[in-house]
Amino acid sequence: MADQPWVLQSHIAQNNATSSITFSSLTSQYCTNAAGTTTLLDYSNAPVFRIFFKVQFQTSQNVLGSSNFSFHGNYTAANDFVYDYQSAQNYTSMSPYSWAGTSRDYSYSTSRQEVGYAVGGSQFNNYNWGTSVNDLDGNSVASNSRRRGAWITGWYENYFPNQAAYYPWTYHVGMVTDQQMDNSAAAPTADWGAWGIGSGGCTNGPYIDTITITSAYNFIGDFFVFRGCNGNHQVNE
Amino acid sequence: MTVKSKFYLLGTVETNNSTTQFLELTNISTDYAVLRIVFNGMIDHSGGGTTNVASGQWQQGVSIGMQGAWTGGPNASAMKYRNMQCHQASNSTNWQTAIGCAHQSYSVTPYGEIGRQYYHSGNLDGTERFTIEGIVVQPGNNQSKQILWKGSGTSPASSAQGTSYSGSGWTGCTKLDAQNSASAQRAMAPMDSIRIGAGWDSAGTPKTLGIYSSLAVYGEGWTSDVQTGNDWS
């Protein structure tokens, strides 16, 4: 197999509800090329941190609050961030093919990297309006199964080659739901889903060998950390 | 748990004319941690295909089909989509969001859609081209699948006309309805196919993709921990 510059470093399969997950020791692990040569995944050798995830919040809340879904690197304070979003938080209507956005909806703060206004709960009262169905294997799947709940997809990324500078997180999160999250019977409503695009950094220090994703509401999901290297240090497996 | 650094281009297809309505990749391996879907190209609004699009109007973006749920596809009966699309336009101070698709009156639609853009007959080919990419996390598990889109285009400013109506960015989500009895089974099935099309005008006439429009799917990473079977709770 050829060598290439990307590494899937870690997967957290969070199948039991929790309020926090943490990736640790991200810059002290190694990747290996086809010749067996190892490379330390430190900031210089692997400057790209790319996190992909899917998550469900085990709550009926349609608005979680900005700080109630957040993440941070080594420092829990002094994380400057800003993000644009649209969700039930701002009460902007979402209707079948009627474009709406009443104002620039954004949130800014200096604590952790927050994206709570870009997501919503996955157990809203009407989400399981369907009936049981059989999956392709013949298993009966109830309408309120977590397999059929509202999943949120997320993408966090930065590039930090150990400069004497802040690292630039960018993030991109979204969900579309099978029903309005506020029990509305008809459009328009803001509760068909949520999305957010943002960025941030940390003035306490640009170090992210430990990354924590946390929420005030318990969640389940899959979380991956990929690393982009400054050379073809990893054999394609 | 074991992870592997497994990265492959799983398929790619490209138009060699201006009369193609859809680009399609099927039988995609879902044995990856993440699938990345990349479309690069344009909708040929100029009438190169069968379109009758008038100059000076906002136009919907590309149509999206997944998991074989499209007309003539293996799972056509599951064409019950939930779609959220968002765009930032220069004639507005804010991002805007819509549910569903153009020319559809309800939130459950027969396809997804993203990439609203302003068409003017004076546009240049190059300024109408755009790129969107989507990710699907755990494409082979037993849960409902969702594509998260991001992209940017389009600057229809070959002349003074239309300059107030440029678009600068898009995001959104597309999935099969996981509650609807017609689509719930397929929504939980593997994310094994994708079809990107040029959409339809308000009269229902198919539009076509411009020449050298392309669709590619990449598999990124592998994990031993994939939820299968029935609910794990």
Instruction: Assign residue B23 the CATH number of its domain.
Output: 2.60.120
**pLDDT above 90 (res A135):** yes
Over range A62-70, report the average pLDDT. Answer: 90
Residue among B6, B104, B146 whose CB faces A237 most closely = B6
CA dihedral B46, B48, B52, B53 (to 10 degrees): -30
B10 lies within 8 A of chain A by CB: no
A236 lies within 8 A of chain B by CB: yes
Predicted local confidence at residue A31, as pLDDT: 98
Predicted local confidence at residue B157, as pLDDT: 56
Chain A residue numbers touching B146 (CB-CB < 8 A): 54, 151, 153, 175-176
In chain A, where the domains are located? 3-235
* Within-domain flag for B21: yes
Residues of chain B scoring pLDDT < 50: 160
Predicted local confidence at residue A217, as pLDDT: 96
B133 lies within 8 A of chain A by CB: no
Predicted local confidence at residue B230, as pLDDT: 87
Give the residue, A61 or B94, on which the prediction is more confident. A61
Question: How far is C-alpha A193 from the chain's CA centre?
Answer: 15
Answer yes or no: are the C-beta atoms of A147 and B231 closer than 8 Å.
yes
**pLDDT above 70 (res A160):** yes
ipTM: 0.95
Q: State how far the alpha carbon of B38 is from the alpha carbons of A236, B164, B194, B195, in Å.
A: 21, 28, 11, 11
Chain A residue numbers touching B227 (CB-CB < 8 A): 13, 15
A91 lies within 8 A of chain B by CB: no
Predicted local confidence at residue B229, as pLDDT: 86
Residues of the domain holding B127? 3-223
H or E, element range at B184: helix B184-187
State the pLDDT confidence band at A100, using cuts at 50, 70 and 90.
Answer: confident
* Within-domain flag for B229: no
Average pLDDT score over chain B: 89
B212 vs B217: CA distance, rounded Å: 16
Residue among A6, A52, A175 whose CB faces B173 most closely = A175
Predicted local confidence at residue A129, as pLDDT: 87
Taking one residue from A and the other from B, the number of pairs with CB-CB distance under 8 angstroms is 220
A213 vs B93: CA distance, rounded Å: 32
B17 lies within 8 A of chain A by CB: no
Chain A residue numbers touching B178 (CB-CB < 8 A): 130, 147-149, 178
Number of domains chain B contains: 1
Answer yes or no: are the C-beta atoms of A46 and A160 closer than 8 Å.
no
A83 lies within 8 A of chain B by CB: no
Predicted local confidence at residue B169, as pLDDT: 86
**pLDDT above 90 (res A125):** no
Average pLDDT score over chain A: 89
* Within-domain flag for B184: yes
A102 vs A99: CA distance, rounded Å: 10
Residue among A54, A100, A234 whose CB faces B97 most closely = A100
Predicted local confidence at residue B143, as pLDDT: 97
